[in-house]
Structure 1
Amino acid sequence: MEGERPAFTDSWGGVYRLIEPGEFTLGDSTGVGARNESPAHDVSITEPFFLGERVITQAQWVDLMGSNPSKFQEGWSSGLRPVESISYHDAVEFLARMNERDGNSERLGMIGIWRLPSEAEWEYSARCGTNGRWWFGQRDVELNDYGWHAGNAGSTTKEVGLKKPNPWGIFDMNGLVAEWCADQWDPNYNTPRTQSPHRHASSKRRVTRGGSWFTESDSTRSTARSSSLESKTSDGIGIRLVWEPQSTS
């Protein structure tokens, strides 16, 4: 892993790592991706943010929301598995409660807010400065060291953080569960050249990223995109949070 990035720990022990500004090419520039991954375009990440090392677990969800919607609840370690079967609207409610609880909490001398990552922030954090199918290379056989997918998950989710992290210290971005992003879906990829989420007034679909335990390896690539209706729940979709600094305390 690259040099240790500044980080903080939340009240559940979850770690959030600093993602620094930079520029990258969003989307598939190799010509082998799906049609909705192009046209590739340059994006500037101008504002730093903190990204969760791991997706939100069932135990964390239950502690805040009081109930568990997840399909895979069996076994002593189920609390350490990702929460799934949550809609985009459920994710928004979770974030509202997080911000109500933590709104005045100081982290690294700053006050901030919890939110979902934009699609650009998600891909930037998944790529870690690389341009291949995955940050670690081009070969499917290497994926087993870094992600859970249809070829190795055994038809179920797993505890978060069991696979190796990417160079920026983030776990499970390739597989396990797809992750809701803040962006409304645009199949033509007319998305911003900034880290801001895409807005499409008529769209009822939101971007999901990362692939899941039941998708083939190709769906876990860094540029692979998908979408779901905001009201949809799936045992293959969960959430990873961003903490955005707003001001110094």
Structure 2
Amino acid sequence: MIRLSVTLCVLALTVFSQTTHPANGQEGAGDVQTSVQGIVSEKPTEGRFVDLGDGKYMVPYATTIPGTEIEFTMEPIPGGTFTMGNEDGEDDEKPAFAVQLEPFWIARHEITWAQYKRYMQMEKALKALQATGVRIVDDSNKIDAVTAPSALYDPSFTYNAGQEPEQAAATITQYAAKQYTKWLSLSDGNFYRLPYESEWEYACRAGTDTKFYFGDDADELENHAWFENNSDEERHAVGELEPNPWGLYDMYGNVSEWTLDQYSEEGYVQAASAEEGKPLSLIESYNKPTKLFPRVIRGGSFLQDSEECNSFARFPSNSKEWRSTDPNYPKSPWWFTDEPATGVGFRIVRQYTPATRDEKEAVWQADVASIERDANNRIEANGRGTYGVVDQDLDEEIEELDEDLSLDDG
């Protein structure tokens, strides 16, 4: 097993909690300080925090989806250097190389149906607003618009493995997940995105160098993950099992999680640019997509076995097979229709370092022309899904709509 070298770029990392409400109502989830930015200037006396070394401390923070009481919690992750990959593993886990990361926050849990269905409601809400003559999207502002997904063509497939509010959301394309992070960011005011693959692996390992963050004994996995042996072929409520050392739940199993990276069967192509003894930066470690598929999915799902639910295992998306029974043409850019896509979801990241507008758009928008073309076709030719201008005033405007507007959950 390859050795994991972690140099924490913090002066302290412990577990921080203060008197507030538990996240997502999960028993044992731990209380957190609710903070607008997740930054405090007084050193916490207990619980998890990341010392930034300048009199500021990153702490866990709980916040709500704008316009709702639906809560999510972000956990601080210290900056550091680690060795990504597994020289003793499968071909696509090689070659290993060093990566240096800045601090960031990552969601304590995978995105739930309660959270995602609020985004699904935006198709109806934005169309209703546009019917009143506001938030019209045209060529002058289309680049800033968010696409809201179409209503489900056949909900029975999407929900056949569970649709309860606290269950992990799934059958979601990477493009839809990216648009969700754009919608949330513009509504909330913070910058959220999907994790780069290096961030996902670093957060999952939480300073460990073993196959699992709890060691190498697969018999312990049932305490940490919903997978083939214990899931009963269903997605489960997030946060029911044990977290990793950095407070993250369901990093293995339940649903596999999108990253931003392109997948290569040859393994980590980024390693070719790594100089011996010099770690790559976050962006240097990024395998930027140049085609629709495959993209990297991590963590394994409720459908997979223990060998596929660990810190190293990587999986490619297959956009053709995963939507082969989609009767629409072009195929939906937002939804998958075939297994194993019932086990594909995501969690979100908020980076500590500021991002430019171009950097934000690069991780929010379609990165190949065919995705944008299909979204445009579905919206403009078929009236399914919509574009919308999103900002922090949107939810107030939705509330002012006619009371007859009923936002169902899709």
| TM-score interval, normalised by the smaller of the two chains | 0.7 to 0.9
Provide, for residues 149-198 of structure 1, a one-character-per-residue CA deviation record: whole Å limited to 9, x for no partner. Answer: 10111111111100011110000001110000011112221126332332
Q: Provide the residue aligned with 2:269 in structure 1.
A: 190
Of 165, 178, 200, the match for 1:79:
165
Does the CA contact (< 8 Å) of 2:289 and 2:295 recur in 1? no
In 2: Cα distance, 1:41 partner to 1:247 partner: 26
Kindly report which structure 2 residues correspond to 1:160-175, keeping only aligned pairs within 5 A, or say none: 160-175=238-253
In 2: Cα distance, 1:206 partner to 1:74 partner: 25
SS at match of 1:113: coil
Q: Provide the residue aligned with 1:235 in structure 2.
A: 342
Provide, for residues 196-235 of structure 1, a one-character-per-residue CA deviation record: whole Å limited to 9, x for no partner. Answer: 3321424632110000001010111101101104574311
Cα drift, residue 72 of structure 1: 3.9
Does the CA contact (< 8 Å) of 1:206 and 1:230 recur in 2? no
In 2: Cα distance, 1:198 partner to 1:25 partner: 16
SS at match of 1:207: strand
Provide, for residues 75-134 of structure 1, a one-character-per-residue CA deviation record: whole Å limited to 9, x for no partner. Answer: 7xx11101101111111221221122123xxxxxxxx41100010000000111111110
TM-score, normalised via structure 1 length: 0.87
Q: Provide the residue aligned with 2:136 in structure 1.
A: none
Structure 2 unmatched runs, 5+: 1-12, 16-47, 50-58, 65-69, 122-150, 272-279, 323-335, 356-410
TM-score, normalised via structure 2 length: 0.54
Percent identity (aligned): 30
Does the CA contact (< 8 Å) of 2:211 and 2:310 recur in 1? yes
Provide, for residues 39-67 of structure 1, a one-character-per-residue CA deviation record: whole Å limited to 9, x for no partner. Answer: 1111111x211000000000111112225
Letter in 1 for 2:310: R
Rate the CA distance shift 1:205–1:74 in 2: closer, same or farther, 3 A.
closer
In 2: Cα distance, 1:126 partner to 1:153 partner: 21
In 2: Cα distance, 1:132 partner to 1:63 partner: 38
Kindly report which structure 2 residues correspond to 1:48-197, keeping only aligned pairs within 5 A, or say none: 48-66=103-121, 70-72=158-160, 78-103=164-189, 112-188=190-266, 189-191=268-270, 193-196=280-283, 197=286
Rate the CA distance shift 1:90–1:203 in 2: closer, same or farther, 3 A.
closer
In 2: Cα distance, 1:203 partner to 1:73 partner: 26
Q: Provide the residue aligned with 2:60 in structure 1.
A: 7
Q: Provide the residue aligned with 2:293 in structure 1.
A: 204
Greater Cα offset, 181-190 or 219-228 = 181-190
Greater Cα offset, 186-195 or 212-221 = 186-195
In 1: Cα distance, 2:289 partner to 2:180 partner: 23
If each structure's helix is expressed as a fraction of its own residues, which one has the higher value? 2
Does the CA contact (< 8 Å) of 1:113 and 1:244 recur in 2? yes
Rate the CA distance shift 1:80–1:59 in 2: closer, same or farther, 3 A.
same
Of 347, 351, 356, the match for 1:244:
351
**Paired residues, number:** 235
Does the CA contact (< 8 Å) of 2:226 and 2:301 recur in 1? yes
SS at match of 1:134: coil
Q: Provide the residue aligned with 2:133 in structure 1.
A: none
Letter in 1 for 2:281: T
SS at match of 1:115: coil
Q: Which ranges of 4 or more aligned residues in structure 1 deviate by more than 6 Å?
A: none
In 2: Cα distance, 1:40 partner to 1:100 partner: 36
Rate the CA distance shift 1:202–1:94 in 2: closer, same or farther, 3 A.
closer
In 1: Cα distance, 2:255 partner to 2:236 partner: 10
Larger Rg: 2
SS at match of 2:307: helix
Rate the CA distance shift 1:39–1:139 in 2: closer, same or farther, 3 A.
same
Letter in 1 for 2:93: E
Letter in 2 for 1:60: Q
If each structure's strand is expressed as a fraction of its own residues, which one has the higher value? 1
When the two chains are superposed, the root-mean-square deviation of aligned CA atoms in Å is 2.1
Does the CA contact (< 8 Å) of 1:9 and 1:15 recur in 2? yes
Does the CA contact (< 8 Å) of 1:54 and 1:240 recur in 2? yes
Does the CA contact (< 8 Å) of 2:258 and 2:296 recur in 1? yes
